[in-house]
Structure 1
């Protein structure tokens, strides 16, 4: 099901244009089972959706819905139990240069400088040192770290490390960039800055982005569409078309369209009447009526 919230004519027209683009990523009947000592766990079940070229899609859902498992399968880092993933019409059968990946943790090589980290991919693909260095400098410029190209990861802040990780992933010129909660470990101020920076990068590069997040505001702020998953097992719930105009600005969080999208997604993830599991409480002091 695709949900179309009320949107302005110019936003609706943008979605019409988006749907005319080629499909960059297609997922068909994806299923993933894990065998455990307690039996088989179904992480994903019969999941199907598609993402268009240069679309920014976020994936969100409750804990246990299989978001990270999904993105690892899409990137070719895990094998599905059933179904298939196509990138540019070609089946995914393992990691490949047509896909880039940015993780939540800082996965840079600590013994390499910023420039050397970004050069790594092109060099592994056969580029000469001179060519790889020139290519790396372009991506380092794009993420705004030219002054730090000779710095090592331990000399960078968390946000800067993730910018290097993005540059390193883009240096291989993938068709699709997968991002698994890349800003989850950052403080709120740095996270907001990185979100804005990512949108600027996305506008400047011919890339399709699939972004995993648990943050409702982040999903609405970044994406064209939001894939909402159910949990236990992870199933397709709804594909939500975000009715917020582009370019995005922080002030849009106060607009009715932003609030409506956020409320709709929150309703999907936490439906009214659903009873949440109670957290057991162990009281370490005697009851004080003034402390509630």
Structure 2
């Protein structure tokens, strides 16, 4: 084997081994959390757990379903994620389309306002005062409206819309289509990749939203899963005043890890379906324009 081929072969295998080790390091915490959630407390406390549960059991998940608090938090998070993503995509796509048209009056001023909103984020006190004045405290809308439009996502969508062939828009107008018809029948079908990527951004952000609930929600019945998980993991208790009566002891490590697994499963399920559009959508919207 020539020297250059041997060097290339060794470099390639060194890269493979490095990537494999990196993957193992990154996946080990998730595997360990799953193993703890499926193990008995005696095995975990006795240090008899490495990766695979010695005595697999679903007791932790049964406790979660029996208590009802985690289920309630999941329902709140699912509602906020679906509602918030739908509203965010509606506002983002329509505003991005309007800003991408050259004949819209005041589009440059609005674009500068979007850029300023991205550079000068509102403070915590400002956000709270605005939400309070809108009478949204202790409502689902407090978790949806303040973060409805992300300036970065709006700019990415605008850049993609600007990169679409203008001939299609002109042809649609010649056929008698108005802007709404053009947007619905031509622009959106051609924008599946960025729509999938931005939808994933919004959905993950809504699902993982934590600080908004801390600021705006006092009613424990409206706690999303992130707040419930925090109280179970850090405080070892379930949220009070949820209307759920349970005589189960405070959560142990297996129940805490089971809550973590349940929290990350929805995103792991959704992501593979959108992954093929993810990189393409972001790069296309960011580079062209």
Structure with the larger helix share: 2
Structure ranking higher on relative contact order (CA contacts 8 Å, 6+ apart) = 2
Higher Cα Rg: structure 1 or 2? Answer: 2
| TM score, norm. by length of structure 1 | 0.23
